[in-house]
Chains A and B, each alone.
Chain A
Amino acid sequence: MARKPSDYQSDIWNDWCPGCGDFGIVAAMYRAFSELDLPPEKTVIVSGIGCSGKTPHFVKVNGVHTLHGRAIPFATGIKLANPELTVIVNGGDGDLLGIGVGHFVALGRRNIDLTIILHNNTVYGLTKGQASPTLRRGLRPKALPKPNIQDAVNPVSLALASGFTFVARGYSMMTEHLKELIKEAIQHKGAALIDVLQPCVTYDNIHTVEYYKKRVYKLEDTGWNPKVEKIEEKEEKIVKAWMKSQEYDDKIPIGVFYQDPHTPSFEERIKERIPSYLETPPARQKIEREGKTIIDSEAFRKIFSYYIVETE
């Protein structure tokens, strides 16, 4: 019997502010997980710090609530050690694009089969509303003493530049649409980003539900084809997607910007070198025999013969 969305709901009382955009993200995840019928014990949500960092506690799958900015490398270790797991990172804009942006870029370079759900609300909520890396210059959400004088990073543009092979944007108030994006991202074999616009009802009086309602439109409604059908199209498609990502003022596109199913995932690259990798990844290897090492003296001499000199 397929799992229902409520089967993924944990018993923990959700302490996000009433009306927080994050509720939409979690609701979309419950539904996406249910429709994909993800086994909870083979699914892992990894998060960093901040409001989004609490996400794993609200979901009844494995949860790893890590350090500020470090969700991606924790997830990298989990996924590479056991690639049969479905690993989903939930992180804020400050977390993934401020303190942790190096890991974000590195993930693109590797194209590991991870799904990154970016809770993008332009502020650091849990520390009371400071400017996040996605807040544009000149804006002053209500907690800021002065307008922001740093430029914003565009998550979609950066993901494209870094090598992510699935790049999408969702809106937390459109959970049906977001749910579909999450499903697609999870099913995509490679690094997937979903930049989720998520109003912070407490500290962001600019990017409100009203604000997004006026601007957001679906890419798929315009006949947008994100998919690199043949590898030869990659350059053209990525340039188009990047151009599209720059559209961010009067109109904000949501949906899948770009999808490249051709670039090999990191797991496939490892398999090239270690053919047994997917069958016996690091987490599933036996490393002892009745408490003894599997490399005995004879095996040791054979493996490390390069270092052993037989004397005269």
Chain B
Amino acid sequence: MLNRLSIIIGGPQGAGLETSAQILTYSLAYLRYGVISDREYFSNIKGRHSYVHFNISSEQIPTSLTYPVQLIAALDHETVFTHFDSLEEGGVITYDVFTEEKTLDTTPSMEEDLKIRLRKIFKELGIDGSIKSLVRYISEDKKIHSVPLNYSEIINEAAKKLVLPASQAARYVSSIIIGAVSGLTNVKKKAIEYSLARRFYDRPELAQQNKVIVETVYDKVVREHGPILELAPSKLNHREMMIVSGNDIVAMAKTVGGVRFQSYYPITPAADESFTIESYEKLEVDGLEIGSILVLQTEDEIAAITSAIGAALTGARASTSTSGPGFSLMVEGLGWAGMNEAPVVITYYQRGGPSTGLPTRGSQSDLLFTLYASHGEFPRIVLASGDHLEAFYDAIEAFNLAERYQTPVIHLLDKFLANSIVTLPVPDLSNINIDRGLIIHNGGADYKRFNLSTTISPRAFIGSNCIMWYTGDEHNELGHIDEDPENREKMYRKRMEKIKIADEEIPEEKRLTYYGPEDADVLLVGWGFVKGVALDALKTLAVKGIRTAYLHIRMFSPFPSKSVEKLLERFDKSKVITVEHNYLAQAGKAILINTGVRITKEVVKYTGRPIYLNELVDGVLKILKGEDRVVLTYGP
């Protein structure tokens, strides 16, 4: 029985793979397993290859993904071609026997680059390149256990049982995947039934129809092959688990944090967050409304940020969510918010750039952009979350910081986090505070919005009992245009000094976390989604006798300079490695700018796929052998 299991389920976009993944995750969570899964997909609605990569554990909530995998469940032949190489020796592959004659030539959806690489491999292996030849090869040579299933037969049988036209039953083909995976891993039927009922709570007939297919496949697989990859019963004892994507958890956090105005323009991978908030626009508990949120889909990202700023001026907690191309459009608005000390939150899910880049793939290449975006100088706060739980707390804290320091806050996330689904204990809300900063409710006739007697001026809302002016021009205390050099110097300094106050007030230990033994020899430095894989790498490296620690940076502005500098001093320079999803090792540059310390070793990845545990460990080992830079590329 297995305590750990990695699985890939793959198929064409639009064939129901997401539903399969959701049902499987619910079922695993119901049985108290820890799960993390990453969804990889093209910028496409239907037909291109997509897959979900799971890491399941009976001992802990896993934080990273890794290769090789033990099971591949293929909805189509492209999945077999794309992933066969990722199987561990002795692993299992399930696929449709109907596709056995398929070759690369009959796989038009596959990109030519991969076909060229595969043709070369097939030639070297001496196989003809059909699915049949490939499965035979991996079965013999890599001792892969193949579980061929006849998808159309299964569908037809189910159609008969359900008295449905076969064409309708065929819509549930993704349930074959659920049946195969759960049968092979011995995930109880009861759990699947629970999950189907949950997923299709409003359409019980769909739950029933899918259940028939799942159980047909489940029984067949167990009968013919047995639960080859049986999962050990979970040692975790959570009574409840949340199942959330990064988008979901941020949406929930904003709701808790009091967002009342959220604007957005559709963009991958940010838009789902706004949809989720909109689903909860009326916050109701036991039939009583405790609040409501206005979600506005705007005509572009410029309108998204400027309308959010407008809402913020009236006192509503306001935010917008976007990705790189959208943020590029928001930059002028960001500067206005900086100039006018407007508390607005920008939730920024990074994806592969530049330009359209890899619109559905992950990246961490916008750190330096967010730190310096917009002309002129003004303070901003930049937070970066490393996992779902951090994202939850940071999304709330972003509003507190924005209002406390009256400045735009950029909350950096990435596609990896946005689309990865994890099981998570329900976050503790008891320690969450709402800090609205310095607010004045009776400003009266003499109110000055930019009162210079304090660095952070009391903020009145438009619509309270006083009037105020805002302008993107340099302004005086009232908010009127003022180009006087003395006023300019005072007002400029007032703005800039807010970041100094933030730096003094926000404890550095909240802005970074050091993981691992105090006397570690090797230090990994990272941020964002690197956290999970870095933490797992510490354990793997420890087993190899390498005492490794991980420095996780969670706030880049104001930067925790003193702590970072002190920490880095403790390590041999040749053993400090930045680990990042970008080319430049941007956090390394931010450290250099803020502390003067140059990190010379880097492990980077910019293929748009997440850093996997196996390759990170290899990368660190290469650095320790003397390489300065390792570029990771694993993953289809």
**Chain A interface residues toward B at CB < 8 A:** 10, 12, 40-42, 44, 46, 49, 54, 56-57, 60-67, 69-70, 72-82, 84-85, 102-103, 105-106, 270, 273-274, 276-277, 280-285, 287-288, 291-297, 299-304, 307-312
> Which residues of chain B are within 8 angstroms of A274 by Cβ–Cβ distance?
281-282, 292, 294
Query: CB-nearest residue of chain B relative to A299?
Result: B285
Cα A62 to Cα B256 with chains together (Å): 31
Interface residues of B (CB under 8 A from A): 26, 29-32, 190-191, 198, 238-244, 248, 252, 255-258, 260-261, 263, 280-286, 289-294, 296, 298-300, 302-304, 306-318, 332-333, 336, 396, 426, 428-430, 432-436, 461-473, 479-481
Complex: A76 Cα to B282 Cα, angstroms:
21
Chain A neighbourhood of B255, CB < 8 A? 295, 303
Given contacts A64-B313, A81-B318, contact A300 B473 (CB under 8 A): no
User: In the bound complex, do residue A77 and residue B429 qualify as a contact, i.e. CB atoms below 8 Å apart?
Assistant: no
B307 touches A80 (CB 8 A): yes
Look across to chain B and name the residue whose beta carbon is closest to the beta carbon of A54.
B481
- Closest B residue to A106 using CB positions: B299
B241's partner among A72, A79, A288, A311 (CB-CB below 8 A) is A311
Partner pick for B307 among A10, A69, A76, A304, CB 8 A cutoff: A76
B240 lies within 8 A of A65 (CB): no
Best-surrounded residue of A72, A295, A296 (most CB of chain B within 10 A):
A295
Q: What are 26 A-B pairs with beta-carbon distances under 8 A?
A: A41-B463, A41-B467, A46-B310, A62-B467, A62-B468, A65-B472, A65-B481, A70-B333, A73-B303, A76-B310, A77-B309, A78-B311, A79-B310, A82-B463, A276-B292, A277-B292, A280-B291, A282-B261, A285-B260, A293-B256, A294-B290, A296-B429, A300-B256, A307-B244, A309-B29, A311-B30
Q: How far is the CA of A192 from the CA of B266 in the complex (A)?
A: 27
Q: Contacts A307-B244, A307-B252 known; A300 to B470 CB distance under 8 Å?
A: no
With A65-B472, A81-B260, A291-B435 known to touch, is A304 a contact of B31 (CB < 8 Å)?
no
Main secondary structure of the interface of A (DSSP, over half): mixed
Question: Contact at B239–A310, with CB atoms within 8 Å?
Answer: yes
Interfacial chain B residues near A300, Cβ < 8 Å? 252, 256, 426, 429
The closest CB in chain A to the CB of B26 belongs to: A309
A63 touches B469 (CB 8 A): yes
In the assembly, what is the distance between CA of A301 and CA of B285, in Å? 10
Taken together as a complex, chains A and B put the C-alpha atoms of A40 and B310 apart, in Å, by: 18
- Per the bound structure, the CA–CA distance linking A61 and B468 in Å amounts to 8
Residues of B within 8 A of A106 (CB): 298-299, 303
Q: Are A303 and B238 neighbours in the complex by a CB distance under 8 Å?
A: no
New A-B contacts (17) at CB < 8 Å, excluding given A40-B467, A65-B469: A57-B480, A60-B467, A61-B467, A63-B468, A63-B471, A65-B481, A72-B303, A73-B299, A78-B313, A81-B294, A81-B318, A282-B293, A283-B316, A295-B429, A307-B243, A308-B426, A312-B30
B470 touching A77, Cβ below 8 Å: no
Q: In the complex, which residue of chain B has the Cβ closest to the Cβ of A295? A: B256
B472 touches A66 (CB 8 A): yes
Contact A67 B290 (CB under 8 A): no
Contact in complex: B241, A70 (CB < 8 Å): no
- A102, B291: Cβ atoms closer than 8 Å: no
Q: Which residues of B lie under 8 Å from residue A307 when comparing CB positions?
A: 242-244, 248, 252
- For the complex of A and B, 10 pairs with smallest distance between CB atoms: A77-B310, A287-B258, A77-B307, A282-B260, A288-B434, A282-B316, A81-B311, A73-B303, A65-B471, A106-B299
- Nearest CB on B from A65, distance (A): 4
A287 with B317: CB separation less than 8 A:
yes
Assuming the contacts A74-B310, A77-B318, asked whether A293 and B240 have C-beta atoms less than 8 A apart, the reply is: no
Known contacts A287-B291, A303-B255; is-contact A73 B302 (Cβ 8 Å): yes
